Amino acid sequence: MVRARTLLRVLPYIAGILFVGVFLIGIEISFETAALADAQPVLYVDTVDVQVFWFQARACVILPPDGSIGNCISLPLTNVMLGLTILMVAVMVVYGLLRKRVNLIQKKRTRFSSPDRRRPESQ
C-alpha cells in the first residue's frame, strides 16, 4: 500500500516530464519542417505543403498544383516522439488503474473498520 501511494505521487511528475519532452520534440520537428518548406524554390506562387510521414520518420514537400512529392528529409525525432507519447499514455493508464485500486482498498478498509451503525450505541 505504501508503494502504491508513492507511485501515485510520482507518476504525475513522470507524465509531466514526458509531456514536456513531447512538446520540445514537437517544436523541433516544426522547425525542421518549416525550414524544409522555406528552402523550396520561389518558382511556386502557391504555398508548398510539408507532410510528415510519422511511421517512416521522414517529411516530404508536397508541390503545387498537382500534389507531387518533392524533396524529402529524414526526421529521426518522429520515432522518439511516438515512443514518448506511447510511454506517456501508458503512465497515465497505470496511474488511473492504480488510483482506482487504492481507492477500492481504502473503501474496504473504512467499511470494515467503521462501527456497525445498525446496533444502538448504548447497550
Between vectors from CA 103 to CA 101 and to CA 105, what angle results, nearest 5°? Answer: 70
pLDDT band at 93 (very low <50, low <70, confident <90, very high): very high
Helices and strands in the chain, H and E counts: 2, 3
Count of CB atoms situated within 10 Å of the CB of 18: 20
Q: What is the pLDDT of residue 72?
A: 87
Average pLDDT, the chain: 84
Grid coordinates representing 81? Answer: 516522439
Q: What is the pLDDT of residue 45?
A: 62
**pLDDT surpassing 80 at residue 121:** no
Average pLDDT of span 88-110: 89
For the segment 53-77, what is each residue's pLDDT rounded down to a tens digit?
A: 888 889 998 887 787 888 888 999 9
pTM: 0.73
pLDDT, residue 122, reads: 53
Phi, psi values for residue 115, rounded to 5°: -70, 155
Residue-level pLDDT at 27: 95
Percentage, residues of the chain above pLDDT 90: 40
Distance CA 1, CA 102 (A): 8
Q: What angle do CA 90, 25, 97 make, to 5 degrees?
A: 10
pLDDT-based confidence at residue 120 (cuts at 50, 70, 90):
low
